Amino acid sequence: MEYVLIFISAIFVNNIILSQFLGICPFLGVSKKIDTSLGMSAAVAFVLTLATIATWLIQRYVLDAFGLQYLQTIAFILVIAALVQMVEIVLKKVSPALYQALGIFLPLITTNCAVLGVAILVIQKDYSLLQSIVYAFSTALGFGLALTVFAGLREQLSLVRVPRGMQGMAIVLVTAGLLSLAFMGFSGVDGGLRTLFGLD
């Protein structure tokens, strides 16, 4: 049941974009069309899960083992950058079709702070490896959900007349704020489920 709570909480209650404000750059930059947002979501899900596994193992078996916890941030950044490059090279050789489908999104993930944020959060929450994997994948799903819903809203906004003072980034930020408020409606779900199943 703990894994179900992690899953629901990461997607809806503590959404990485709308509640924790990580990954805002792709949220605002890659959300003009649903197609591109789906591509970015798939790439983030793939890399986020792999990066979380790699950084968790490095934290437990290298940094903690040798007392090098102060190198966590720089080590994680290097691992994520190297992992993205390796994934890109392997995909180019093994599956050119998937490589073409992901296209520009893979290099963009290197600078996505959500990947580093999740890698650090699983260490701070003291999750096991399996809990970390569930949390990372759920967070990626929450990222994809927020990005896709926002892209749909932006596509609809392009079809309506917006007042001149609200055109451009202004209406985009207002829409993002309203979407964040909508997701705040899930804030009581996590506590309610914990109480229901006696996990408090």
Question: What sign for the dihedral angle of Cα 157, 162, 167, 173?
Answer: negative
Give the contacts of 13 (CB within 8 A, at least 6 positions apart): 19, 186, 187, 189, 190
The tally of CA atoms less than 13 A away on the side-chain side of residue 74 is 4
Backbone φ, ψ for residue 160 (5° rounding): -110, 160
Average pLDDT of adjacent 10-residue blocks, the chain of 200 residues: 86 90 84 83 88 95 94 93 85 77 72 89 95 96 94 89 86 91 81 69
Copy the structure tokens of residue 45: 């899900």
Among 16, 1, 2, which residue's Cα sits nearest to residue 145?
A: 16
CA distances from 52 to 7, 137, 163 (A): 15, 9, 43
> What is the distance between the terminal CA atoms of the chain, rounded to a whole angstrom?
12
pTM (predicted TM-score): 0.87
Count of positions (residues) in the chain: 200
Specify the pLDDT at position 199. 64
Specify the pLDDT at position 57. 96
